[in-house]
Chain A
Amino acid sequence: MRDDITHLFSRRTLLQGAAGAAAIGGFSGLASRPARAAETALDVFAPLPPDPSPPGAAKFGEAAFAAWQQAHDAKVKYELLAWPQLHDRMATAFASGTSEWDVVYMCAWVPEFIDFIVPYADKLPPSTVADMPVSSFKTVTWDGKRYGAVFTLSLLTLFYNTEHFEIAGLKEPPKTWDDLKRYTKELTRDGRYGWVLDYADSAGIGGTASYWMCFLQQAGGTMYGPDGEPVFNSDAGVAALQMMMDLMKLGTDPGSMSYAGINDATNVLLAGRASMMMNWPYMWKPAQDPKQSKIIGKLGGAILPAGPAGSASIDGTDAWTVTATCKDPALATKLIDFYLSPEVQKRQALDTGWLPIRISVLGDPEVQKALPNASIVLEQAKHPYNSFVTQNYNQITQAIGTEIQKALQGRQSAKQAMANASEQVTQIIKHS
């Protein structure tokens, strides 16, 4: 009996069986090939939620996203990564030529990766472009061509704890630098701090240097002259840093020097342990979530206090771009147009807290009601919000941020820090 079984499963029989299975598999593959060929796959590289993520990746607009894929006979595949790792992953993939993405999220990196993306945004429907702030294209435009479309209006604005304000007898948000300093001092009491921010990471948007850029513009300064040389080692540059140092002494949470991401600082404000901070608009929604916040109904917002030259901010520059190796640029452009459609933009705002970029959706009563900070961000957008994005943005902000950190720790004066930073940035530009 055993011999019979051995015979039944002899090597030859197995090989014959395998060949038959392969033939059937091959035939079925042939039969189904026409159906598969019609479906186009798009690969999208994006941040993981809670950072700004597309529909289907974040929990919003899922039905519309499925309908879009069906209507376009397309399959969209997301590759999602935590925001701090996006830049380095992209740099590696682009440099090694292994990028297979069609649509890529960008944040201040358009000049850096300019040859790996295409200026598709010049072909966006005029109706879409007309409904977006002209200034939103500033950080995605290079040599007069638009390489991306910003999909969320993300400027830093002021957030504060209204209950702390009431206790301190403060009736309205600070409007000037002097107000901000005075408020910070008065609100630092009972184990709480007046101001909190994340100063541990020097580089990039949301790094220490980028926060200083807000104060720099509020002081009337700028980063570069017409010849591209750094000009921030000026009275305005020093005043901006001195303002940060003053806030540090008057009542900044000392932990700010150790917080390496905005979420660390946000948690302090949401726990009621600090009274004011500047933050991105997305913060409004988690502040109303009882799982994340102890200050529900106590969060106020305002534009950033004005320095000698007025209020100013920086731009988060969250944008969609199309890669130079895109398999189907026309379809990729359609996908981004879908991301920017009023319906998706509205769900993005209502469900995730990331504000829309479309002016019409920003003005939508339902959005305004759900996100009272939308009008504040719109107001902030009337003031300068230059992020001073360049090809070597990370290296430059690392150098400046490190000098700022030393000054914030009291290891050097604001003047010395600006001089050191200027010297380093000059060398970086010279060697790049």
Chain B
Amino acid sequence: MGSSLTVVRAGASARAEPTGRSVSGTFEQRRRRVGIGFVLPALLVLAAVLGFPIVQSLLLAMQHVRLAAGHMHVRWIGWENYTDLLADDSFVLALANSIFFSLGEVVLVTSIGLGAALLLNHRLGRFGILRVLLIVPWAIAPVANAVLWKWILNANYGVLNAVLKSLGIIDHYVVWLGEPMRALTLLLLVDVWKSVPFIALLFLAGLQRIPRILYRAAVLDGANGWQRFRFVTLPGLRNAITIAVVLQTIWSLRVFDLVFVLTRGGPADGTVLLNFLAYRVTFNFLDIGSGAAIANVIFAMSFLLAILYIRLLQPTKREPAS
């Protein structure tokens, strides 16, 4: 009751003073102040939970921080950790591996996800069970998923070798994780398997928002299947595809569990990704400063992508009708 009265008063004042500083404006300012007051505790908590670690990580990366012989050795060294990274073969290899991994992941997940979404959107694919089956890989806990694939890819007992051999595709068992490039590619495929469901559902939601009338109009215009996909489906999914690409790139930079469980970065550092390297340098080598520098590189990459993501999510401004 009180709030409705306030609204009425505010509206009346606005009519009485159409120009200059209005009571409505004052109310709006008060409302904003109260709103900020309510939001402030949450902002403070966020600043403490998110801001503090970020600032701390930035500061750590500017120092030589190393746990050795039970002592925490701390010394300010400026940008040295970052410049050292550029000369570090392990970092360069991990960066190259991460770029390969991210590119491969985005291309494969997006294209397979789109294909799956198109199939599920077809009238024959609209059974609920298919969607449940699709979601299974995504629902499996990350470490459980990694352990599952560790056994599938086992050189001696793995089901992959058994199936391929029984089909006559290979004549002897393959050591899937025994060579750097092959192992990295397999890690990529395993992560693609896990990531496709979410992206497929994202695309499916996008597909269902495309008005059916556009397809009917395209048919009436004589468009074939490819042309309908090219000129109706793809433009309709533009936003979903962009968001999927950005999100998948960010997620691929965070991959850790697969490397930790399946290869530990081996063989010969062939599967070390940036995230795993940051972990190894920090917790295995106890070189906390260098580890923070690597983590900050990942953070910077993710942050830039996140900004891009937020910009893409902003609604586009419509041009006023002339």
Contacts and interface: CB of A to CB of B under 8 A. Distances in A.
A95 B67 contact: yes
B177 interface: yes
A395 B70 contact: no
Contact of A260 (B266, B269, B288): B266
Q: Which of B173, B175, B284, B288 has the most CB of A within 10 A?
A: B284
Interface in A118-145: none
A402 interface: yes
B150 to A, nearest CB: 9
Contacts of A115: 69-71
B285 A395 contact: yes
7 contacts: A95-B67, A254-B175, A260-B266, A264-B154, A267-B157, A392-B68, A406-B268
A168 B287 CA distance: 50
A226 B163 CA distance: 56
A392 B285 contact: yes
B156 interface: yes
A392 to B, nearest CB: 7
Given A202-B264, A255-B173, 15 more contacts: A91-B286, A92-B283, A94-B70, A203-B284, A257-B266, A258-B155, A268-B156, A395-B284, A398-B285, A405-B266, A405-B267, A409-B179, A409-B180, A409-B267, A432-B68
B284 A257 contact: no
Contact of A88 (B72, B180, B266, B283): B283
Nearest to A202: B266
B294 interface: no
A273 B157 CA distance: 10
B268 A258 contact: no
A116 B173 CA distance: 48
Nearest to A113: B70
Interface in A91-122: 91-92, 94-95, 111-117
Contacts of B178: 254-255, 257-258
B66 interface: yes
B263 interface: yes
A199 interface: yes
Interface in A388-432: 391-392, 394-395, 398, 402, 405-406, 409, 411, 432
B176 interface: yes
Contacts of A255: 154-156, 173, 175, 178
Interface string A254-283: 110110100010011001010000000000
A200 interface: yes
A93 to B, nearest CB: 11
Interface string B278-293: 0010011111100000
B18 to A, nearest CB: 50
A402 B269 contact: yes
B67 A91 contact: yes
A201 B69 contact: no
B183 interface: yes
Interface of B: 66-72, 153-157, 173, 175-180, 183, 262-264, 266-269, 280, 283-288
B284 A199 contact: no
A282 to B, nearest CB: 21
A391 B68 CA distance: 7
Contacts of B155: 253-255, 258
B154 to A, nearest CB: 7
B69 A260 contact: no
Given A114-B69, A115-B69, A406-B268, A257 B175 contact: yes
Contacts of B264: 200-202, 260
Among all A-B residue pairs, the 7 with the closest Cβ atoms: A115-B70, A255-B155, A258-B177, A257-B178, A88-B283, A405-B268, A200-B266
A203 B284 CA distance: 9
Contacts of B175: 254-255, 257-258
A391 B268 contact: no
B266 A112 contact: no
Given A116-B70, A255-B155, A257-B178, A95 B286 contact: yes
B285 A402 contact: no
Given A87-B284, A398-B280, A111 B266 contact: no
Given A114-B69, A258-B175, A409-B179, A271 B284 contact: no
B183 A258 contact: yes
A112 B287 CA distance: 12
A111 B176 CA distance: 37
A258 B263 contact: yes
Nearest to B182: A258
B70 A398 contact: no
Given A112-B68, A115-B70, A115-B71, A201 B156 contact: no
B82 to A, nearest CB: 16
A267 B154 CA distance: 11
Contacts of A92: 283
Given A258-B176, A258-B263, A395-B284, A409 B67 contact: no
Nearest to A257: B178
A87 B155 CA distance: 28
Contact of B268 (A253, A264, A402): A402
Contacts of B71: 115
Nearest to A397: B284
A88 B263 contact: no
Contacts of B283: 87-88, 91-92
